[in-house]
Amino acid sequence: MFRSMLVLAASLAMLVTGPVSAQRYSQSVMEVDEKPGYEPSADEERLPAALQRQSVFFRTNEQPGTIVVHTSERFLYIVQGNGRAIRYGIGVGRDGFQWSGLNKITRKQEWPDWTPPPEMIERQPYLPRFMAGGPGNPMGARALYIGSTVYRIHGTNMPQTIGKAVSSGCFRLANGEIVDLYERVPVGTKIVVRHAPEL
């Protein structure tokens, strides 16, 4: 009888703690994708063909020059007009950190410094409080700042995370791709963030 009660209690404990443990585990696995100081090799910088920058057919009512992000597809588009856009593979926010809306690019920075926000430090206390810009910086080679938010479109020192949902809400590109995007996008550019493509 006592043994049966112990088994029942253990089973109930697993039911209660199982999802929480799984959630903590999944977050910790995703968060190790932030590796300050890591410098990727040339092979790591080469993206799979589907995630590489390319001109594609793109139906939209947005004006040429507009940035359109489809988080569910893991792609960022710059509208070119005539039904075309330049498409970039991106990394997006993980579950609970994705967002949508309209904004604009308010600032641009080459080799930006990185100051993790307090919320990120709380989740990942091992992170540095400040890191100067450079090849090992998680912000990568360039950054485009979105409105007055904490979100950015930026490079990364972990190109293997492109095409995945791993960030805290920012959109990351491989360094070669963000350098190309940076040259095409002036301050004031409209950005539209959607979870699904237009119908």
Q: Which residues are catalytic?
A: 154, 170
Backbone angles phi, psi at 175, to 5 degrees: -60, -40
What is the b/e burial string over 170-196, where b = at least 16 CB atoms within 10 angstroms of the residue's CB?
A: bbbbbbbbbebbbeebeeebebbbeee
DSSP-derived letter for residue 48 is: -
What's the Rg (C-alpha) of the chain? 20
CB atoms within 10 A of CB 150: 13
